[in-house]
């Protein structure tokens, strides 16, 4: 069985095309598949469109979440429910072409990989391209995780890799990082990322920034290193300045002005605030993880038997 997991949030305009293209793409290489749509608390007619599509294509299943939990949580809901011995993750806006799944499936089966992901060769949409590339390069450097560059959620995992992912129960989730973290034999298929077919991006800039911060805080010590580095520089500077102040006082050749005092207070104060912010961020994360809340909640699961 092959499972295709697709999160959707307010995508009513493109459900029809999404379903028909996905079904067609899957049927080109297997007859035994399921498509799991996760409705991530859409406020438009996404659910109705999905229910309609399910009448025509009985292999479509729908996990209707109780509210919007974010697309990493939605993907998680999908891979937890997936029954396949291969599980694919794909965005629901047709930026990841379903037609590529055939090539990815062939690669994972014939070349002995456990995970095959789509590697973006460039994208048509200009939106945040520079920022995204920069983020991936930076993340690869600070996390020490291999081959993260330019691969997002679009991927196929075999059962062993999926089970490894399912063992990672953390609440704050960055799936591409987790996928890289688990190891296994990972391969890539290159593709050009299309423009989204319809509508506005559902990952707003603020959601993307939160996702980037989640990635960096949960897979690297970079923020702490910045603190330590700045703290060290600050200490050295003030040590040298302190000696100078003492020497100047001793020889009595300087009247120390107001400005240097105020500037150093500002400087030290701001460094301390930054450090407190970073420490606070880690404390928040420890708090979040220790709460151990569910990552998502299901309102209704429409599988093959559901009326």
Q: Is 153 in the site for Mg ion (CB under 5 A)?
A: no
Q: Is 9 in the site for ligand UDP (CB under 6 A)?
A: yes
CB count, 10 Å around CB of 141?
13
Q: Is 77 in the site for ligand UDP (CB under 6 A)?
A: no
Binding mask 220-259 for ligand UDP (x = CB under 6 A): ----------------------------------------
Q: Is 98 in the site for ligand UDP (CB under 6 A)?
A: no
Q: Is 78 in the site for ligand UDP (CB under 6 A)?
A: no
Please identify, using beta-carbon distances, which residue of 19 and 182 lies nearer to Mg ion.
19
Q: Scan residues 28-67 and list those touching ligand UDP (CB under 6 A).
A: 40
Q: Is 11 in the site for ligand UDP (CB under 6 A)?
A: yes
Least Å from the CB of residue 144 to ligand UDP = 24
Interface residue with ligand UDP, options 3, 22, 76, 95 (CB under 6 A)? 95
Interface residue with Mg ion, options 34, 40, 93, 96 (CB under 5 A)? 93
Q: Is 11 in the site for Mg ion (CB under 5 A)?
A: no
b/e per residue 33-55 (b: at least 16 CB within 10 A): bbbbbbbbbbeeebbebbbebbe
Q: In whole angstroms, how large is the CA radius of gyration of the chain?
A: 25
C-beta nearest to ligand UDP: residue: 92
CB count, 10 Å around CB of 81?
18
Q: Which stretch binds ligand UDP (CB under 6 A): 92-100, 136-144, 166-174, 243-251?
A: 92-100
Q: Is 40 in the site for Mg ion (CB under 5 A)?
A: no
Q: Is 72 in the site for Mg ion (CB under 5 A)?
A: no
Please identify, using beta-carbon distances, which residue of 66 and 85 lies nearer to ligand UDP.
66
Please identify, using beta-carbon distances, which residue of 75 and 302 lies nearer to Mg ion.
75
Pairing state between β 86-89 and 115-123: unpaired
Interface residue with Mg ion, options 95, 117, 180, 186 (CB under 5 A)? 95
Which spans of this chain sit near Mg ion (rule: CB under 5 A)? 93, 95, 196
Which spans of this chain sit near ligand UDP (rule: CB under 6 A)? 7-9, 11, 40, 68, 70-71, 74, 91-93, 95, 196, 201-203
């Amino acid at each position: 069985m092959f499972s295709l997991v697709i999160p959707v949030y307010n995508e009513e305009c493109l459900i029809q095309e999404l379903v028909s293209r996905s079904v067609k793409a899957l049927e080109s290489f297997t007859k035994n598949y399921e498509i799991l749509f996760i409705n991530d608390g859409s406020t438009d007619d996404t659910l109705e469109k999905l229910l309609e599509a399910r009448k025509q294509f009985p292999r479509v299943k729908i996990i209707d979440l109780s509210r919007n939990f974010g697309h990493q949580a939605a993907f998680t809901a999908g891979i937890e429910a997936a029954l396949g011995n291969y599980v694919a993750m794909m965005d629901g806006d047709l930026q990841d072409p379903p037609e590529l799944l055939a090539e990815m499936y062939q690669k994972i089966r014939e070349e002995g990989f456990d995970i095959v992901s789509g590697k973006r060769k460039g994208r048509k949409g200009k939106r945040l391209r520079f920022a995204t590339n920069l983020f991936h390069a930076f993340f690869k450097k600070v996390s020490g995780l291999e081959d993260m560059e330019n691969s997002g959620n679009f991927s196929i995992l075999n059962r062993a890799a999926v089970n490894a992912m399912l063992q990672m129960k953390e609440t704050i989730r960055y799936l591409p990082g987790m996928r890289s973290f688990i190891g296994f034999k990972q391969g890539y298929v290159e593709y050009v990322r299309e423009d989204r077919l319809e509508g506005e991006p559902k990952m707003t800039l603020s959601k993307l920034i939160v996702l980037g911060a989640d990635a960096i805080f949960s897979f690297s010590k970079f923020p702490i290193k910045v603190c330590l580095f700045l703290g060290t520089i600050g200490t050295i500077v003030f040590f040298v300045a302190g000696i100078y102040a003492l020497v100047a006082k001793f020889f009595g050749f300087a009247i120390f002005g107001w400005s240097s005092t105020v500037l150093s207070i500002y400087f030290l104060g701001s460094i301390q605030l930054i450090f407190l912010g970073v420490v606070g961020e880690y404390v928040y994360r420890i708090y979040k993880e220790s709460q151990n809340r569910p990552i998502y909640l299901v309102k209704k699961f429409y599988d093959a038997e559901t009326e």
